């Protein structure tokens, strides 16, 4: 079966602007290929095509692309799920600068991630082995720690498109909450203080694009709601009991 594929192309060395390039590709029958398989077939046909990929099983988060208008990981998205009327258009994740073809510059995405201090901060004296956590407290990290930073969510979020330099974005905020809710972290107050401005958290309008695209089935909108509640509680009760 042949399929019509249209791919976003841009080569900074030769192109003034980007264009869509159309390919006709023969799809081997018998099994449902993933979009990444299709890209590999295309690359055999046209070796100049660039994209990122690594683990090819939805773990590394490097092959996030926009397929027929929806962000997702090419390696775990079956053609049957995205192809419409035997046509597929593949574009880079929207909103960030394109380096080449489907490869985007994720600097702003990582800067927002860096901003939320994605590591445990604990000012209690160092313990001999590890800091223990009750099973209940550990459970609070479920649905948060699984994020693979693929950027599908943040680049689907209109608020992040408009203010990628000021709004932390769904991926960063999911991780912000992951450390806010961790019983071993003692920097809750500093973390919240860094998020109370009108942009970092409050730019979220609850559009939930992030939830609809996350390939890990995570829910950044819910995490953002929790952060907002923590900020509100902190505002009405200025010196919260330190836990």
Partner 1 sequence: MPDSSAAKMVTQVTAMSRNGISDWLIQRLSALLLAFYTVSLVIWFLMTPSLSYDQWQALFDTSWVQVCALVGLLAACAHAWIGVWTCGSDYLSDHSLGARAVIFRFVYQTTSILILIVYLLWGINILWGT
Q: Which residues bind partner 1 (CB under 8 A)?
A: 108, 111-112, 114-115, 117, 159, 162-166, 194, 196-202, 228, 231-232, 235
Instruction: Kindly identify the residues of this chain, within the stretch 116-155, that bind ligand SF4 according to CB under 6 A.
Output: 147-153
163 SS3 class: coil
User: Strand (E) positions, 117-164?
Assistant: none
Q: Shortest gap between Cβ of 126 and ligand SF4 (angstroms)? A: 31
Residue number, 48 or 111, with CB nearest to partner 1:
111
CA pair distance 133, 186, nearest whole angstrom? 13
10 SS3 class: coil
Here the tokens at position 160 are: 């992040």
Q: What is the C-alpha radius of gyration for the chain, rounded to an integer number of angstroms?
A: 21
21 SS3 class: strand
Q: Does 208 bind ligand SF4 (CB under 6 A)?
A: yes
**Positive or negative CA dihedral for 69, 12, 151, 115?**
negative
Q: Does 176 bind ligand SF4 (CB under 6 A)?
A: no
Residue number, 74 or 157, with CB nearest to partner 1:
157
- Considering only 34, 36, 104, 171, the residue that binds ligand SF4 (CB under 6 A) is 171
Q: Does 103 bind ligand SF4 (CB under 6 A)?
A: no
Residue number, 158 or 216, with CB nearest to partner 1:
158
Q: Shortest gap between Cβ of 151 and ligand SF4 (angstroms)? A: 5
Between the alpha carbon of residue 35 and those of residues 38, 71, 77, 81, 214, the distances in Å are 5, 12, 6, 10, 16
Query: Which of the listed partners (ligand SF4, partner 1, none) does 108 bind, with a CB threshold of 5 to 8 Å by partner kind?
Result: partner 1
Between the alpha carbon of residue 44 and those of residues 38, 39, 77, 87, 94, the distances in Å are 10, 9, 20, 20, 26
89 SS3 class: strand
Q: Shortest gap between Cβ of 122 and partner 1 (angstroms)? A: 15
Chain residues that interact with ligand SF4, rule: CB under 6 A: 147-153, 157, 159, 170-171, 174, 204-210, 214, 216, 218, 220-221, 224
């Amino acid at each position: 079966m042949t399929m019509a594929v249209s791919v976003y192309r841009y080569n900074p060395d030769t192109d003034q602007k980007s264009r869509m390039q159309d390919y006709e590709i023969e799809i081997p029958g018998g099994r449902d290929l993933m979009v990444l398989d299709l890209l590999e077939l295309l690359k055999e046909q046209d070796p100049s095509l660039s994209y990122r990929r690594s683990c090819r099983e939805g773990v590394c988060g490097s092959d996030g692309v926009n397929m027929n208008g929806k962000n997702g990981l090419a390696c775990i998205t079956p053609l049957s799920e995205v192809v419409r009327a035997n046509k597929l258009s593949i574009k880079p994740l929207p909103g960030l600068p394109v380096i080449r073809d489907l490869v985007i510059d994720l600097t702003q995405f990582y800067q927002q991630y860096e901003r939320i201090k994605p590591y445990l901060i604990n000012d209690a004296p160092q313990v001999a082995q590890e800091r223990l956590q009750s099973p209940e407290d550990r459970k609070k990290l479920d649905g948060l720690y699984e994020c693979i930073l693929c950027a599908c969510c943040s680049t689907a979020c209109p608020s992040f498109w408009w203010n990628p330099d000021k709004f932390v974005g769904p991926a960063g905020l999911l991780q912000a909450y992951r450390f806010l809710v961790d019983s071993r972290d003692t920097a809750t107050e500093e973390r919240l203080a860094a998020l109370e401005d009108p942009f970092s958290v409050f730019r979220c309008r609850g559009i939930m694009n992030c939830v609809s695209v996350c390939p890990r089935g995570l829910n950044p909108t819910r995490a953002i709601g929790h952060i907002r509640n923590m900020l509100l509680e902190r505002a009405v009760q200025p010196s919260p009991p330190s836990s």
